Amino acid sequence: MSVVDEVKQKLDIVEVVSQYVTLTKAGRNFKARCPFHEERTPSFFVFPERQSWHCFGACGTGGDVFSFVMKQQGMEFSEALRLLAQQAGVTVPSHIERDTRKDERERLHQVNEAAAKFFHEQLLHSPAATRARDYLSGRAFTADTVTAFQLGYSPDSYESLKGHLQERGFSEKELVGSGLLVETDDGKTRDRFRNRLMFPIHDARGHTTGFGARALDDSMPKYTNSPQTLVFDKSGTLYAIDLAAPAIRKQDRVIIVEGYMDTITAHQNGFNNVVASMGTAITERQVTTLKRLSKNLFLALDADTAGEEAMLRCVDYENILDAEIRAIVLPAGKDPDDVIREDPQKWHGLVEDAMPVIDYTINMKTTGLDLNNAGDKTRLANEIIPIIDKAKDTIRLDHYLGRLAKVTKIRYNDWEKILQNYKISHRSKRVAGKSEVTPVAKLFSNPLEEYCLRLLLHHPELINMSEGLQPEYFRDSQNREIFITLLQTRDLPSLKDNLDPALWEQVESLMALNVIDGQINNKLDSVILRLRKQYLQDQKEERAAAFAAVAVEEGTGADLTNLNDEDIKSNAQLQQVFEQEGKSHRSGKGWT
Ligand SMILES: [Zn+2]
């Protein structure tokens, strides 16, 4: 039995939750006012038989004892595991086996931290940094802000950082590996960042992973940052995530801006739930990271074409989040930095008025078109239908079509027909696969989850195709954590580096079982569908139990609207799964 299973076996979720929340009995289950959102009537339930919890109110989430402690305490899985293991009296293997890559990473964090300190000191005290200081005071940044963001200045020299860090015992090789030095054609090395305002970049745990740098003269490019290194990957990075995480969690809302300045100005004015995307394209990894803090994403991207392109990818991200993304529409030619500095109240208003990103996209696509004109209508359909077709959820699809009908004044039914035609023409392009039956040994507590992980571990290239797969579909926190870490790392060596050693045992046992080759994509599609079905059915059962408990206790006067709506929604989703299953059986996709 794995350590995680042992902890689960020894602890009772009711006792653990009771440490944080006052539970009252409701039939065989327990209820309380949800600790994660403000509410008057209890919609938070704990189910002792399933050892699970669920909030049927604003949160709409649930899980097992680990996910509860993670959410309640704002902890990573590893921390929650150690806390609960201690309560259960179970010993957890520690991070003893640190392999070289892990040491290398730590060393790079240290190099970057030392460099950040050096740059910061330069900014505060060096006579050469006058221009940088003037620039910051021109922006009205306070001393507290400069300290909180550890802003810095890189001297106009080829050797100053290099010399400073070498004196502190860092090798030239390490400095090159960190991206702080560059190698020149003649094989020598020199400082990468010169005469620039420096923005240290941290990961969610507060490690310094790299730098952003702004020119203080006419040097091009105006903004540059660290190259890709073992610890810095722009596409997975969110500037200020370490500072913003508590506010994001608390307000259950995250605002994504484009620039360092936007972020810093926002924080200085008390908008602490703001992070920057490190470029215009929001990536799947960034969305997955943010989803752990809040599902409510707001985008404030400059209203240029690049920003608009970013909006177009958002339907994909709404699938990941299972929630609507909102667009903050900025006045033409202004970025969040301008707006907030002019009038923080105005920014507040823009955030409150943010519109669903799909509405924004439709508006954007219809601008300049004459929808009485057949040619323009076709043009719009060609652009918008492929975007809308990406919706993985019938409720959301229906919502999108409704928005489209409203904005374009073309009937809903007509849009539905156009979408159906599009789907048919695309489906016929797919080739039906041959079925293949192999029994899967039911050795594990959740064969379906484990089978899915085996597929992904044996074929990490499939991770790019697993977009419909939500972490919530894994009921077991252990499996869920492996999946999330795999999403973030995407290959086995870095999975091993990043995964809690207590979970590696589970990965190894999964890897020990082979996956039969062939039709791998179909296998993945099929298992995702089954996991989704399992997830929806579980929710339905929990909802039925909560429904019964509330009805018995409070009679017909109880406010069951929310539960009812949820039920209708999940029935529709289940219906969709059954339909998809029917289709895949006909086309010969089997689960093995
Ligand atoms: Zn809640």
Residue-by-residue DSSP string for 78-123: HHHHHHHHHHHT-----TT---HHHHHHHHHHHHHHHHHHHHHHHH
pLDDT in tens, the chain (592 residues): 678 888 888 889 999 999 999 999 888 889 999 999 888 888 899 998 888 899 988 888 888 999 999 988 888 888 899 899 988 888 887 654 445 567 888 999 999 999 999 999 999 999 999 999 999 999 999 999 999 999 999 999 999 999 999 999 999 999 999 999 999 888 899 999 999 999 999 998 889 999 999 999 888 889 999 998 989 988 889 999 999 999 999 999 999 998 999 999 999 999 999 999 887 678 878 888 898 889 999 998 766 655 566 667 777 788 778 788 898 988 888 889 999 999 999 999 999 999 888 888 888 888 888 877 777 887 888 888 888 888 877 888 888 899 888 877 888 888 888 888 887 776 544 333 322 222 222 223 578 898 899 999 988 888 888 888 988 898 888 889 999 999 888 888 888 888 888 888 788 888 877 787 788 888 899 999 999 998 888 888 888 878 777 776 655 444 556 666 767 777 777 777 777 777 765 554 444 3
pLDDT at 95: 57
Distance 542 CA to ligand 1 centre (A): 15
Q: How far is the CA of 32 from the centre of ligand 1 (A)?
A: 10
**Listed residue (396, 339, 311) closest to 572, CA to CA:** 396
Pairing mode of beta strands 254-257, 274-276: parallel
pLDDT reported for residue 445: 59
> What spacing in Å lies between the alpha carbon of 42 and ligand 1's midpoint?
9
* Centre of ligand 1 from the C-alpha of residue 213, in Å: 41
- Measure the CA–CA gap between 132 and 151, rounded to whole angstroms: 10
Q: Report CA(36)–ligand 1 centroid distance (Å).
A: 5
Q: Which two tokens stand for residue 361?
A: 């996209």
Ligand 1 is an ion; its neighbours by CB within 5 Å are 34, 36-37, 55, 57, 59
CA distance 284 to 293: 15
Q: How far apart are CA 330 and CA 553, in angstroms?
A: 49
Query: What CA–CA distance (Å, rounded) separates 226 from 209?
Result: 9
Q: How far apart are the CA of 33 and the centre of ligand 1, in A?
A: 8
The per-residue pLDDT for 592 is 38
> What is the pTM (predicted TM-score) of this model?
0.58
- Distance CA(380)–CA(377), nearest Å, equals 5
Cα(429) to centroid of ligand 1, in Å? 43
Q: How far apart are the first and last CA of the chain?
A: 25
Kindly report each contact of residues 488-496 with a partner whose C-beta sits within 8 Å and lies 24 or more positions away, as own/partner.
488/236, 488/285, 488/288, 488/289, 490/460, 490/463, 491/460, 492/457, 492/460, 493/101, 494/101, 496/99
Name the DSSP letter for residue 32.
Answer: E
Distance from the alpha carbon of residue 536 to the mean position of ligand 1, in angstroms:
18
Q: Which amino acid is at 444?
A: F
Question: Measured in angstroms, how far is the CA atom of residue 38 from the centroid of ligand 1?
Answer: 7
* Residue 558, pLDDT score: 47
Residue 101 near residue 95 (C-beta atoms within 8 A): no
Q: Tell me, in angstroms, the distance from the centre of ligand 1 to residue 94's CA.
A: 33
Cα 528 to Cα 523: distance, rounded to the nearest angstrom: 9
pLDDT of residue 119: 98
Residue 341 CA to residue 357 CA, distance in Å, equals: 25
Q: How high is the pLDDT of residue 438? A: 25
Least Cα distance to 533 among 442, 443, 449, 445 occurs for 449
| Residue indicated by tokens 């109110």 | 57
Cα 363 to middle of ligand 1, angstroms: 33
Cα torsion for 80, 84, 89, 94, to the nearest 10°? Answer: -10
**What is the CA(247)–ligand 1 centre distance, in A?**
17
Residue 24 alpha carbon to ligand 1 centre in Å: 16
CA 54 / ligand 1 centre spacing (Å)? 8
Between 394-408 and 357-366, two packed helices, what is the crossing angle to 10 degrees? 40
Q: How far is the CA of 451 from the centre of ligand 1 (A)?
A: 31
